[in-house]
Structure 1
């Protein structure tokens, strides 16, 4: 069968293949765009976390801050912890040198010397040390200076459990929710992940920021392109075999 005959016979398959391969290739190019975005983001994060700590933005500038501009910025701040209002952010496992197993990140309001309150993620404690009485040495009293990374509020998805304010148990890092729970005024719209400087008694263990951000977009792109190529190849083979197996014209029968 001629090529034109194949097209005439399998036009619906050909159109479907072109549409399918086009959609799959489009997903591949989208993943390449995501790859460039992720690489730029990782480079930006690396430059910020390795930079010397700079002063925390003044309170009057908080409302106008853009999370894209401050997330992971390395800052220094000074204030007094309000340990009576610490909250517990559940984590299925620790990060960094804090060990393995489930536990909590301790979120504590820090009353700044210059006014305002910042929620500080002081670090991870295992489940058996959730009670502050079991890590009393780490409940720093009086004015203290610390460094850490500014963080935007965490977002939820369909798999995020609902917070349990009545149990002071949280599943997202959201300064506004903690401010409402404790009745705090002047709370910053961001939080601070404290650096890994050791606390008295060893707990909480700072440096809880997750910095190993996955970047699998290249493998995703290659997968989509491979699927597009496979679809095209299978369709072409099917059409070619269909042409070879088609019954030949009986010229004698045609004359009769």
Structure 2
């Protein structure tokens, strides 16, 4: 007696495997896009020219560039986990600023071991590096704080190759399991 291959189950497995393989190739495309983006950020970090924080704010293409802004009014202070330039763990001290044109911006003033150590800072000219968020990491530090770690695009993870490998392995595993299930099936009664 011959074994009959179930059409519906085989179709479902093949569609699932096709989706997994296409997700693997999508991750490979994302890998190349991310590598290009990281190379752009690394190049931007090396540019000496300073840009102004505009009424439009900043976009992803301006990350890691040197920039300046004028903080006309501070609307709030906070602290978030951060590292000093020396690599010590502590608190990055931030201020929410209103610029002369009414736009708001977040500024990382500097680093301290204590939360809200820069609550007395009331604004002024800020120069620094644009970090994701976006936020301007002051360089030099302001408000009597120590220097915060400089934003570094090499800290952005690029896991797309491992994700692609996972999707291809999932597809292969699904095919192997399905093949084993078909072999374990007894012959169909016709």
Give the TM-score, by structure 1 length. Answer: 0.57
Structure with greater strand percent: 2
Q: Provide the secondary structure at the position in 2 that maps to 1:85.
A: strand
Number of equivalenced pairs? 187
**1:197-228, Cα deviation, whole Å (9 max, x unpaired):** 35574x15334636411111111110011010
- Is 2:137 aligned against 1:193? yes
The answer for unaligned runs of 5 or more in structure 1 is 155-172, 174-190, 250-256
Q: Indicate how the Cα distance of structure 1 residues 70 and 34 shifts in structure 2: closer, same or farther if over 3 A, else same.
A: same
**1:13-68, Cα deviation, whole Å (9 max, x unpaired):** 311210111121122122112212211111111111121132426x5xx34x7613
Q: Give the alignment's Cα RMSD to 1 decimal.
A: 3.7
Partner Cα distance (1:68, 1:199) in 2: 25
Partner of 1:125: 112
- Give the conservation status (yes or no) of the 8 Å contact 1:70–1:151: no
Q: Which has the larger radius of gyration?
A: 1
Counting only pairs closer than 5 Å after superposition, residues 94-109 of structure 1 correspond to structure 2 as 94-97=82-85, 99-101=88-90, 103-107=91-95, 109=97
User: By how many angstroms is 1:194 displaced?
Assistant: 1.7
Structure with greater helix percent: 1
Q: Indicate how the Cα distance of structure 1 residues 106 and 208 shifts in structure 2: closer, same or farther if over 3 A, else same.
A: farther
Partner Cα distance (1:78, 1:12) in 2: 63
Q: Indicate how the Cα distance of structure 1 residues 111 and 231 shifts in structure 2: closer, same or farther if over 3 A, else same.
A: closer
Partner of 1:209: 151
User: By how many angstroms is 1:12 displaced?
Assistant: 2.8
Partner of 2:60: 68
